A = this chain, B = another copy of it.
Amino acid sequence: MTECDVGPFPDANGFSEAVTLDEADPLSGFRERYHVADPDLIYLDGNSLGRLPRAVLPRLQALVVDEWGNGLIRSWNERWWNLQVAIGDRLAPLIGASPGEVLISDSTSVNLYKLAMAALGITESRRRIVTDDANFPTDLYVLRGVAEAMGGSLDVVATKGSGSPMADLEAVLDESSALLSLSSTEFKSGYTHDIGEMTALAHRVGTPVLWDLSHSAGVMPVELDASGADMAVGCTYKYLNGGPGAPAFLYVRQDLQESLASPIPGWWGHAEPFAFDLDYRPADGIRKFHTGTMPILSLVAMEAGISDVTEAGIDRIRAKSVSLTKFFIRQWEEHLAPLGFSLASPLDPERRGSHVSLSHSEAWPIDRALIEIGMVIPDFRAPDNLRFGLAPLYNTHLEVHTAVQRIRSIVTTGAHARFAGEKLTVT
């Protein structure tokens, strides 16, 4: 960083508090399990791609050399065949599910499609799918595709994200609603629904609910079974640190599994996969939602992240997540609100996930400057949103404090101005 200090910033308000909070952090030991090549780089995008667990590389080396190279096809029997179910069972307690209810499978989008199609298969004449405009855009595209394939319609409720979506959705849900599908934590605002209350609302009119847990899984308790949720999907490359594009998961409540049929049946989900029957007979339980062969390298790489979250404990992770976002918001209020940054996430920690969004009229050049010269990596969501993801397993309160000061330095020195013309890209 050339235009402003790299930090830490011991003279700015909040420094001592950050140090104190970090000293009391029961999860502080987990950071060293992650690959941190440059400790000056403050990575606040674990809500998009989690950091690399150091256990991944040796595990992948063994997989590639011993299992693929030496074991060859025999490793399907000895190591790989049951991985999707076994890893699903290990993920289950993190989202309040029971063994046999979670399967690692395909991508989040494909899983959403499979379960939405399956749900519409049991709702008889109902063909209206309800969602809201704070849902992830791909979810909207997929749900619209499902509605069209089934001769129905998609009702997108405008909820303004961090408002009170319960009331907005209640006004729309009725006996013609075939499915309610929402992001449990919204990708832009970080608003997190009360899954139990929302599910009860939908069940009152007989509508099943399909949750996208991508921004919740691994960073907060999700009580799927206890809330009576019907179905869920989610990704594993955010707070579960599963690696770029790691396979996704799907959940179907035990007592629903028998009545739902997968629209894309494959031999992996056949009752007797090695009989190679001409006719499909679904396997019992969650296995029937299998489709084709899974990418084993990416599947195996996700195990380390799930182990870490399990060991740290989802309640302790949530407690630290709330502490980090609260501290971020206090720091925003003092140091960034005067510079034109508005809070675009809920103030109530109960309704907030693990990222904090700030809006600013110059959000895009500020994002670019933070990455290029500030050594802070947030991400940008059009048109004016900066997302700061706080990952309890490796982020610290001191990183929050330092990041806020670097943002401040960039904006007050105008260092972001030269990025104003840059073309929008990923992050």
Contact = CB atoms under 8 A, between A and B. Distances in A.
A273 B425 CA distance: 9
A64 B76 contact: no
A275 to B, nearest CB: 6
Given A109-B292, A266-B138, A381 B297 contact: no
A38 B69 CA distance: 10
Interface string A287-305: 0000111111111010000
A29 interface: no
Nearest to A423: B274
Contacts of A293: 107-108, 235, 237, 244-245
Contact of A73 (B45, B142, B265, B296): B45
A138 B245 contact: no
A75 interface: yes
Nearest to A142: B264
B35 A73 contact: no
A163 to B, nearest CB: 17
A179 interface: no
Task: Give the interface residue-count category, chain A.
Answer: 35 or more
A88 to B, nearest CB: 16
Given A267-B141, A427-B77, A68 B109 contact: no
In this complex, which of A51, A72, A377, A425 has the most chain B Cβ atoms within 10 angstroms of its Cβ?
A: A72
A76 B57 contact: no
B425 A145 contact: no
Contacts of A274: 382, 424-426
Interface string A128-151: 000001001110111011000100
Interface string A37-56: 11000010100110110001
Contacts of A48: 73
Contacts of A67: 244
Contacts of A246: 295, 297
Contacts of A65: 35, 52, 57
A170 B276 CA distance: 26
Interface in A53-98: 56-57, 60-61, 64-65, 67-70, 72-77, 80-81
Contacts of A140: 278-280
B298 A427 contact: no
A282 to B, nearest CB: 10
A133 B426 CA distance: 45
Nearest to A385: B276
A277 B135 CA distance: 11
A156 interface: yes
Nearest to A61: B57
A248 interface: yes
A72 B60 contact: no
B264 A145 contact: yes
Given A278-B133, A292-B107, A298-B296, A265 B141 contact: yes
A52 B69 contact: yes
Contacts of A294: 107, 245
A14 interface: no
10 contacts: A45-B73, A52-B65, A77-B425, A107-B266, A133-B278, A140-B278, A235-B293, A237-B293, A243-B296, A245-B297
Given A107-B292, A149-B149, A274-B425, 14 more contacts: A35-B65, A52-B68, A57-B64, A60-B64, A109-B266, A110-B110, A117-B149, A137-B278, A138-B267, A138-B292, A140-B278, A145-B264, A235-B293, A237-B293
